[in-house]
Structure 1
Amino acid sequence: MTENSPASEWGAERVDPAAYLRRIGCAGPLAPTAETLRELHRAHVLTIPFENLDVVLGRGVRLDAGALQGKLVDGRRGGYCYEHNLLFAAVLERLGYRVTRLLARVGPLGEPRRARTHAMLLVEADGTRHLADVGFGGEGLVEPLPFAEGAVSHVGPWTWRLGRAGDEWVLSTLRQDGWAELYAFRLEVHHRADFEMANHYTSTLPSSPFVRHVIAQRTIPGARRRLQNLELDGQELKAEELHAVLGEVFGIGLEPEEAEGLARHARAAGRSPERQG
């Protein structure tokens, strides 16, 4: 499958690959190979945090390439799946990769079916296709996964598998009690309007976890640091500690009054077990 929509629809030309590469600490080589894709994917996941702070602060999330460049690269912030993967897609296209942007249903298969609210990518390199996803949060991929039924990836303590269920592809992760489905998707062309609709739904629906909770995650080799409301890695924080934690643990620089607003929201939200990407 190839993507039929023109690159100009996504504005890839507005992304600065050199600035992005400095942001994630990659110097090359940059030939559009599977090995380069793996290096870029891993560096992105280990550098740019997953976070929804602009949603909680009432600013909304813009998906145009210029805004993604300004926030995640120039502003050294993080974002959630649409921001991460649309930025990554634009950079990959600038480097010569062929990229298909996809949307998935998060969570285990079954009824009722959830809306398609997660973004990820299909990338062609060295004559083969790879599932790339730098923006799931939770238990998301660290490196690309070969796009083949039964493909398995091991990175540190984590394992993922790509399978089929009818006409859907399913990404699963291995937990202590067995395989758990992360999301399911079909191969079909999506357009920017589809992503804008999904982003609006995710960032405004009152029951969305990204509206209800303060969330930040940083992946480091072999571990993940996760903030949800006023809980960091399972330990309760004081509201006044939030500003320092965002900066020191996640590399997210906010003004003190912004952190205070997040803390108020976090106190109101309370603790929740939700782990959606």
Structure 2
Amino acid sequence: MWSSEHLDLDAYLAHLGYEGDRTPTLETLRALQRAHVLTVRWDTLDSFLYRQVRLDVPSVQDKLIRRSRGGYCYEHVVLFAAALEKLGFRFTAVSGRVQLGADSANPRPATHAMLIVDLDGTRWLNDIGFGDSPLEPIELVDGGRSQADPWPYLLHWQDITHGSPGWAVHHRRDDSKGPEGWVVRQVFTETPQYPVDYAVGNHFVATHDRSPFVTRPYIQRRGTDRYDTLDALVWTTERPGRDRVTETVGPHEVPKLLDDVFGIRTDPEEASLLVSRLRELDSVRLRPEPTPR
């Protein structure tokens, strides 16, 4: 189903630096998730520059592995699903709604891709495409936790959008305002999703005028003790137990920043296009509002 016959598994695992066992066990899944989150890059540049993101395995593999560019959740999950399928794992794809900054009474579209992996009667949430993703699977039980790094994650079965029951992924940051520092990051149900469903969601995310990935570039890099984002021209670095550091960069600085901090290298033509688009975006944001009459 996930076109694993088109995946060069050896090349993917080599990119991750993974040399471990290939049997479909929890230990293998844990090692693969950690390696994928820390190695495969995350960006929305294709949506911002071209309004086109391909989800076929050869295209995703070429982009994320051979060219070491970044992608967002649909691309990451398509690649990871093909690898799991080829390794013999059993799993179900699902879609979630990102809640950060959203009013649950007016939910965002379900455009976040995830997998639920079945292992010996136990199910594990595999969320490798968020950018700021857990470094290990989370057992799909009420109260399931990931504490593999300084930023913990928590699962709860609760009322989600419009009072319907479902799963909520909570995360905790040093500046979180929720109870005990927990904030709902995304919610989801267990309704199975298929490649065609992801193609529909991806079309909205990559092309729609109201998609945040179309209106500005967003880049993330997750480390074991550091998390960097570039939101348009605002670069933010977070470290556990430290104050968040934020600075604004100029459009001409972005290609080098992508290479130095995010591990994403653009070719000269693409770098020039990116700088040009960022200058346009910056000029629109700085344009004064018209005087009311």
TM-score, length-scaled by structure 1: 0.89
| Distance in structure 2 (CA, Å) of the matches to 1:54 and 1:110 | 29
| Distance in structure 1 (CA, Å) of the matches to 2:232 and 2:201 | 23
1:162 positional shift: 0.6
Instruction: Tell me if the contact between 2:37 and 2:133 (Cα under 8 Å) persists in the aligned partners.
Output: no
Is 1:261 matched with 2:259? no
| Distance in structure 1 (CA, Å) of the matches to 2:261 and 2:155 | 31
Instruction: Tell me if the contact between 1:104 and 1:186 (Cα under 8 Å) persists in the aligned partners.
Output: yes
Give CA deviations for 1:93-132 in whole Å, capped at 9, x if unaligned: 1111012111111115621122111101101224421100
Percent of residue pairs bearing the same amino acid type: 40
Instruction: Tell me if the contact between 1:109 and 1:181 (Cα under 8 Å) persists in the aligned partners.
Output: no
Matched residues, number: 263
Return the letter of the residue paired with 2:211.
S
Q: What do you get for the CA RMSD once the two structures are aligned?
A: 1.8
Match of 2:126 in 1: 132
Return the letter of the residue paired with 2:41.
P
| Distance in structure 1 (CA, Å) of the matches to 2:222 and 2:21 | 24
Moved over 4 A (4+): none
| Distance in structure 2 (CA, Å) of the matches to 1:113 and 1:237 | 32
Instruction: Tell me if the contact between 2:133 and 2:222 (Cα under 8 Å) persists in the aligned partners.
Output: no
Is 1:20 matched with 2:32? no
DSSP 3-state at the match of 2:50: coil
Return the letter of the residue paired with 1:265.
R
Return the letter of the residue paired with 1:163.
H
Match of 1:54 in 2: 46
Instruction: Tell me if the contact between 2:43 and 2:219 (Cα under 8 Å) persists in the aligned partners.
Output: yes
Give CA deviations for 1:177-232 in whole Å, capped at 9, x if unaligned: 22111111111121222111100011111121100111111111111121121222
Return the letter of the residue paired with 2:29.
L
1:150 positional shift: 0.8
| Distance in structure 1 (CA, Å) of the matches to 2:103 and 2:147 | 23
Match of 2:243 in 1: none
Q: Judging changes above 3 Å, is the alpha-carbon distance between structure 1 residues 109 and 17 closer, same or farther for their aligned structure 2 residues?
A: farther
Query: Which runs of 5 or more structure 2 residues have no equivalent in the other structure?
Result: 160-164, 237-245, 286-293
**For 1:155, which of 135, 148, 159 is the aligned residue?**
148
1:59 positional shift: 5.2
| Distance in structure 2 (CA, Å) of the matches to 1:155 and 1:267 | 40
| Distance in structure 2 (CA, Å) of the matches to 1:202 and 1:140 | 19
Give 1:205-224 correspondences, 5 Å limit: 205-224=208-227
**For 2:75, which of 78, 83, 106 is the aligned residue?**
83
Instruction: Tell me if the contact between 1:68 and 1:87 (Cα under 8 Å) persists in the aligned partners.
Output: yes
Instruction: Tell me if the contact between 2:51 and 2:214 (Cα under 8 Å) persists in the aligned partners.
Output: no
DSSP 3-state at the match of 2:183: strand
1:53 positional shift: 0.8
Query: Which runs of 5 or more structure 1 residues have no equivalent in the other structure?
Result: 1-6, 273-277
DSSP 3-state at the match of 2:184: strand
Give CA deviations for 1:133-165 in whole Å, capped at 9, x if unaligned: 11112x432211111111111132201111112
Return the letter of the residue paired with 1:159.
P
Instruction: Tell me if the contact between 1:103 and 1:117 (Cα under 8 Å) persists in the aligned partners.
Output: yes
Match of 2:264 in 1: 252
